[in-house]
Structure 1
Amino acid sequence: MSEDVNEPWEYCLYIPNDLRAVTISRRTLRLILAMHGLTCLADTAELLATELISNAVRHTKGPAALRVRWSAGVLRIGAWDADPEPPQPPVPPERVADAEEGRGLGLVRACADLWGWQPLARGGNRGKVVWCELVSA
């Protein structure tokens, strides 16, 4: 099966609030990237997805979701959770080694080409998405 790497696609994996879901999300992401011929992004994407999904599971009480989208050479990884509160600001790079918490988003900020978050309130769905992007070289 020959897949066009330029063709856009999107996946969403809904997960329970369970730390085991972090591993499931990471492995699912690696499989998605392999199936689309994007293994060159897999290591960094896995790291970023792990941080985003870990935060969603650890810091909220409801379900979560991993969203992965490829379009125009950009991989967007997002973690949705039902809590509308913004994520804690990332720890500055010079303080990551000493920080008790907040290292995850600091790592996302350091490794991603772009990152951010947005609240959601569409069709009765509430919560937020914390996302990051990797640009394919």
Structure 2
Amino acid sequence: MPETDAEPEFTSDPESWEYSLYIPNDLRAVTVSRRTLRLILTMHGLIGLVDVAELLATELVSNAVRHTKGPAALRVRWSAGVLRIGAWDADPRPPEPPQELGQLIESDDGGRGLGMVRACSDLWGWQPLSRFGNRGKFVWCELRAAA
């Protein structure tokens, strides 16, 4: 099984928190990421976000592992009632544009990941990013907690 490292990153806001899970380029890392995310959200009392968050993290991490050759990372941040889930990978090229919802349902092909992310999250995006001297990108999405 691939080695992983989940570590909390503390912020100045006592209600905010952030975790990063560094993963190898291994499809088993998708399951490790999903289960780690479930544990993090459960321990922070955010069980109502778990199902959608797991779906989103699975799509983001799966894209990072399947479409790149280097390491990746899952980052989860909670701040001001917003959960941000993101995946870093070593490929600096922009992600493929997401499909429309109608195309997601009708398509038997791959490439549905970011369309699912767009359809199930409140906001999503990507940005170029460097990590440990490697260039890459960070693809993220946000879920707002129900009031």
| TM category, shorter | over 0.9
1:24-43 aligned at under 5 Å gives the runs 24-43=32-51
- Which of 112, 116, 123 does residue 114 from structure 1 map onto? 123
Q: CA deviation at 1:123?
A: 6.6
Size of the aligned set, in residue pairs, is 132
- Which of 100, 107, 127 does residue 92 from structure 1 map onto? 100
Post-superposition CA distance 1:30-76 (Å, at most 9, x none): 00001100001000000000000000000000000000000000000
With a CA cutoff of 8 Å and minimum separation of 6, indicate the structure with the bigger relative contact order. 1
Higher alpha-carbon deviation: 95-104 or 51-60: 95-104
Residue 47 (1) aligns with residue 28 (2): no
**Equivalent residues of 1:60, 1:83 under 8 A apart:** yes
TM-score, normalised with respect to structure 2? 0.86
- Provide the residue aligned with 1:126 in structure 2: 135
State the Cα RMSD in Å: 1.3
- Provide the residue aligned with 1:23 in structure 2: 31
Q: Detail structure 1 runs of 4+ shifted over 3 Å in the superposition.
A: none
Structure 1 stretches of 5 or more lacking a match? 1-5
> 1:13–1:123: structure 2 CA closer, same or farther, 3 Å change rule?
closer
**Equivalent residues of 1:91, 1:99 under 8 A apart:** no
User: In the alignment, residue 88 of structure 2 is paired with which amino acid?
Assistant: W
CA distance in 2, matches of 1:123, 1:81: 12
- Provide the residue aligned with 2:11 in structure 1: none
Q: CA deviation at 1:121?
A: 3.5
Structure 2 stretches of 5 or more lacking a match? 1-13
Provide the secondary structure at the position in 1 that maps to 2:15: coil
TM-score, normalised with respect to structure 1? 0.92
Identity across matched positions, percent: 77
CA distance in 2, matches of 1:16, 1:132: 21
CA distance in 1, matches of 2:73, 2:131: 16
CA distance in 2, matches of 1:18, 1:94: 31
CA distance in 1, matches of 2:28, 2:40: 19
> 1:122–1:55: structure 2 CA closer, same or farther, 3 Å change rule?
closer
> 1:107–1:75: structure 2 CA closer, same or farther, 3 Å change rule?
same
- Provide the residue aligned with 2:69 in structure 1: 61
Q: CA deviation at 1:116?
A: 0.5
